[in-house]
Chains A and B, each alone.
Chain A
């Protein structure tokens, strides 16, 4: 009796376990990434900010080469697997280097990319300010160069022509 009861319990446990396993397997199947659920726009939103590692200066979303098509499929796959944009970007950097990013990452020597232009512009502005500091008030008519004192008939002609303009 006891043995039969034990067997019944074992059978029940086995059934539950099977159901659990099947259910688990079903859940696992439901979680299998399906790249088809990812839209082209989702892929392009990430590809737009990545640069083709092969072609020069071509963003990944518009590059027409076969290699880029495969990279876009890779982005789709990663998105389907639940990767974030930052993770995908990092993946591409690790695989192909910093050149896949649209701008140099701000570290090390790359800081020069960001610092040199403003420093140069500030330097130019400083030169300009110095030029202004050296400014003088407008000269009075008496200090005008002699050559600007014109004969009356020329002045009359100039005035006439100015009126005609």
Chain B
């Protein structure tokens, strides 16, 4: 019954989406606003309907209805309640349903805004949102249906299908396979929803951009409306990426946080274009330029969101064969191809209308530096995209697979990231419209001088790695410029308003959240850069097999193997847990418990490190192997990860900055806007 309810509401929502698309177009064509209003109601209704569908799925997962194929593939009797709920996004079919539900939430939310000023956008925003939602619902309904049940054919073969097959009987199982152990980590429970929220919320700015193109509204209105949507989307995407990195560090057992895996890159690519977009729209708002470029960026971001969703779960890019065998692979590519062609075609159609007479007035102006920042982001995007698809191309052309691994990405992107850091330091000091070498030099020399202390200190501490010294200088440079900007503005405000310095600082951020929130994001990036430099350039590792009481040394650390216990747990794991004592410079600093969990149901092992964490470094111990009978000897892999916690601290500051930038403004609208509203300026001038 619940299965039918879930499937039924899913099917109704799909047809409702189709109706909404039709009604919106019909309403525009025939100039019948009631049809557009009906389409709006249809879009509003998608959310409650899909909520019922998702709730049905969660009910099936929680109650262990293993006759449903998806339930049996991602849950088992031994799984706790919270994991059974989060199993909704633990597999491909469930993920697509969950994605659709989030999309419907955003689509419904957008219908509730005040459309009085932008009525002409409404039908097209509905069409774009519902086409996207409809595509995912179609996939869920016809290709990857999470409500499919298992049936036993007369020949004894079990098949999955929602409707009963002829002669088949329902196949009831007493237990399921259980969730992939790698997905049972708190980071992985929160990471996919964050990433998906980022993905779906970028659909809204895209929908407005397309609406602006169709209605030929060549002004900045679509950017003004979607400014906060874009920031919220970017916030979730950033949070998803950071949580994913933390999950990799805690769970994957290789001492790192980012492996340049295609799935990671798939989530990173829309973030790159989204970041470029957030910077680039400022140029359009301030100078009225780059209208074409902003359209291209949001079109790219939308298509990369779809591409990312597709890659995250399907794994179809692993080989040509898996792509060909995947039912959803070709459909996704057709959709991405069609949406790119249509949206870029529309942009070309409006190309002349979007042209402005405005030009760059100075190569050192802030808009010019922002444009350079865009080029660098696009450069990193090209490297990422090419790295992801090249193995597939190579296999198609030569029949031989190749690996494009971390060394490729690291070597190619490192100079671009360094250049981005440099720009992050210079751009906030450059003026809009016009900036000269002299004015910029005057603004930049003080922070530059102070920032040189960082590499000098590093040299005094014994660092001789040139890349590290350059990196530390760049990080210090951005930090100094940002703090200098804060300090200068806060002191000026404190003087003019007679406020204390902390109050002046607080009001400064409160009055211009976007700008100063952005600067906090920059500070977050600086902290993250320090962490990345630390772990990438100074990580040390060693591996050895130890008998009980034997020691292993790495840098200032000594680790002694104390004991090892192997036992079964109630949730279906066989756990091998070692106890090691850790000494730093001869002083006991604590015990660690690295372990290896073996999940009987899925027959998968999982390596959980024992970590001693400080701001200076992490001492990260992995239990690689052990003697099963005597428990006398065990092999450990040990890492010293310098400064890695700066990465997580930076992530926190980064998110805090984004929250500040995206927080709704409570202050009254500026005088110029009020004046414009009271009497149009053009009318006054004439």
Closest Cβ of chain A to B625, distance in Å, is: 8
Instruction: Contact check, A41 vs B402: say whether CB atoms are below 8 A apart.
Output: no
Query: Nearest chain-A residue to B510 (Cβ)?
Result: A165
A131 with B360, Cβ < 8 A, contacts A102-B408, A121-B375, A154-B671 known? yes
Interface residue B382 (Cβ < 8 Å from any Cβ of A): yes
Interface residue A124 (Cβ < 8 Å from any Cβ of B): yes
Near B by CB (< 8 A), chain A positions 37-65 give 39-41, 44, 51, 56-57, 59, 62, 64
Residues in B whose Cβ lies below 8 Å from that of A39: 543-544
Instruction: Contact check, B405 vs A150: say whether CB atoms are below 8 A apart.
Output: no
Residues in B whose Cβ lies below 8 Å from that of A120: 379, 382, 386
Residues in B whose Cβ lies below 8 Å from that of A132: 360, 363, 368
Interface residue B109 (Cβ < 8 Å from any Cβ of A): no
Near B by CB (< 8 A), chain A positions 96-131 give 97-105, 108-110, 112-113, 116-117, 120-121, 124-125, 128, 131
Contact with B along A27-40 (1 / 0, CB 8 A): 00000000000011
Near A by CB (< 8 A), chain B positions 338-366 give 359-363
Residues in B whose Cβ lies below 8 Å from that of A150: 672, 675, 681
Residues in B whose Cβ lies below 8 Å from that of A44: 541, 543, 637
Q: Complex: how many Å from CA A121 to CA B671?
A: 43
Residue in contact with B403 in the complex, picked from A51, A154, A163, CB distance below 8 Å: A51
Interface residue B261 (Cβ < 8 Å from any Cβ of A): yes
Interface residue A5 (Cβ < 8 Å from any Cβ of B): no
Interface residue A141 (Cβ < 8 Å from any Cβ of B): no
Interface residue A94 (Cβ < 8 Å from any Cβ of B): no
Q: How many residues of A contact B (CB 8 A)?
A: 51
Closest Cβ of chain A to B604, distance in Å, is: 9
A151 with B390, Cβ < 8 A, contacts A101-B403, A135-B361 known? no
Residue in contact with A102 in the complex, picked from B371, B403, B497, B545, CB distance below 8 Å: B403
Interface residue B404 (Cβ < 8 Å from any Cβ of A): yes
Query: Nearest chain-B residue to A154 (Cβ)?
Result: B675
Instruction: Contact check, B359 vs A98: say whether CB atoms are below 8 A apart.
Output: no
Query: Nearest chain-A residue to B361 (Cβ)?
Result: A138
Instruction: Contact check, B542 vs A116: say whether CB atoms are below 8 A apart.
Output: no
Closest Cβ of chain A to B245, distance in Å, is: 16
Instruction: Contact check, A117 vs B675: say whether CB atoms are below 8 A apart.
Output: no
Instruction: Contact check, A131 vs B361: say whether CB atoms are below 8 A apart.
Output: no
Contact with B along A139-161 (1 / 0, CB 8 A): 00000001101110010011011
A102 with B253, Cβ < 8 A, contacts A136-B359, A138-B434 known? no
A161 with B545, Cβ < 8 A, contacts A57-B262, A104-B403 known? no
Instruction: Contact check, B372 vs A117: say whether CB atoms are below 8 A apart.
Output: no
Closest Cβ of chain B to A138, distance in Å, is: 5
A113 with B408, Cβ < 8 A, contacts A121-B375, A135-B361 known? yes
Residues in A whose Cβ lies below 8 Å from that of B262: 57
Instruction: Contact check, B543 vs A40: say whether CB atoms are below 8 A apart.
Output: yes
Instruction: Contact check, A98 vs B383: say whether CB atoms are below 8 A apart.
Output: no
Residues in A whose Cβ lies below 8 Å from that of B378: 121, 124
Interface residue B167 (Cβ < 8 Å from any Cβ of A): no
Closest Cβ of chain B to A110, distance in Å, is: 6
Instruction: Contact check, B401 vs A98: say whether CB atoms are below 8 A apart.
Output: yes
Interface residue B259 (Cβ < 8 Å from any Cβ of A): yes
Closest Cβ of chain A to B554, distance in Å, is: 10
Instruction: Contact check, A165 vs B493: say whether CB atoms are below 8 A apart.
Output: yes
Interface residue B614 (Cβ < 8 Å from any Cβ of A): no
Instruction: Contact check, B685 vs A97: say whether CB atoms are below 8 A apart.
Output: no
In this complex, the interface size class of chain B, counting residues with CB under 8 Å from chain A, is 35 or more
Q: Complex: how many Å from CA A59 to CA B360?
A: 47
Residues in B whose Cβ lies below 8 Å from that of A59: 254, 405
Interface residue A164 (Cβ < 8 Å from any Cβ of B): yes
Closest Cβ of chain A to B296, distance in Å, is: 12
A117 with B403, Cβ < 8 A, contacts A39-B544, A103-B408, A154-B672 known? no
Contact with B along A74-108 (1 / 0, CB 8 A): 00000000000000000000000111111111001
Q: Complex: how many Å from CA A105 to CA B400?
A: 12
Instruction: Contact check, B253 vs A138: say whether CB atoms are below 8 A apart.
Output: no
Q: Complex: how many Å from CA A56 to CA B406?
A: 13
Instruction: Contact check, A113 vs B404: say whether CB atoms are below 8 A apart.
Output: yes
Residue in contact with B253 in the complex, picked from A62, A109, A151, A160, CB distance below 8 Å: A62
Query: Nearest chain-A residue to B368 (Cβ)?
Result: A132
Closest Cβ of chain B to A1, distance in Å, is: 66
Residues in A whose Cβ lies below 8 Å from that of B92: none
Residue in contact with B318 in the complex, picked from A56, A154, A160, CB distance below 8 Å: A56
Interface residue A134 (Cβ < 8 Å from any Cβ of B): yes
Residues in A whose Cβ lies below 8 Å from that of B91: none
Interface residue B166 (Cβ < 8 Å from any Cβ of A): no
Interface residue B433 (Cβ < 8 Å from any Cβ of A): yes
Residue in contact with B382 in the complex, picked from A101, A117, A154, CB distance below 8 Å: A117
Instruction: Contact check, B403 vs A112: say whether CB atoms are below 8 A apart.
Output: no
Q: Complex: how many Å from CA A59 to CA B261?
A: 11
Closest Cβ of chain B to A75, distance in Å, is: 13
Interface residue B670 (Cβ < 8 Å from any Cβ of A): yes
Instruction: Contact check, B685 vs A146: say whether CB atoms are below 8 A apart.
Output: yes
Instruction: Contact check, B401 vs A102: say whether CB atoms are below 8 A apart.
Output: no
Residue in contact with B402 in the complex, picked from A99, A124, A135, CB distance below 8 Å: A99
Q: Complex: how many Å from CA A62 to CA B254?
A: 6
Residues in A whose Cβ lies below 8 Å from that of B670: 158, 161
Q: Complex: how many Å from CA A150 to CA B670?
A: 14
Interface residue B394 (Cβ < 8 Å from any Cβ of A): yes
Residues in A whose Cβ lies below 8 Å from that of B372: 128
Query: Nearest chain-B residue to A115 (Cβ)?
Result: B386
Residue in contact with B607 in the complex, picked from A56, A57, A64, A165, CB distance below 8 Å: A64
Q: Complex: how many Å from CA A136 to CA B412?
A: 34
Instruction: Contact check, B675 vs A40: say whether CB atoms are below 8 A apart.
Output: no
Instruction: Contact check, A135 vs B362: say whether CB atoms are below 8 A apart.
Output: yes
A57 with B403, Cβ < 8 A, contacts A104-B394, A117-B412, A163-B496 known? yes
Identify the interface centre among A57, A98, A102, A150: most chain B CB within 10 Å of its CB.
Answer: A57
Apart from A124-B378, A147-B685, 8 more pairs, CB < 8 Å: A41-B544, A103-B403, A104-B403, A116-B386, A117-B383, A150-B675, A154-B675, A161-B671
Write 13 A-B pairs (CB below 8 A) sorted by A numbering. Answer: A40-B544, A40-B545, A57-B260, A102-B408, A103-B403, A103-B407, A112-B390, A113-B408, A116-B386, A120-B386, A137-B361, A138-B361, A164-B497
The 8 closest A-B pairs by CB, nearest first: A157-B671, A40-B543, A102-B405, A135-B360, A62-B254, A104-B402, A121-B379, A99-B401
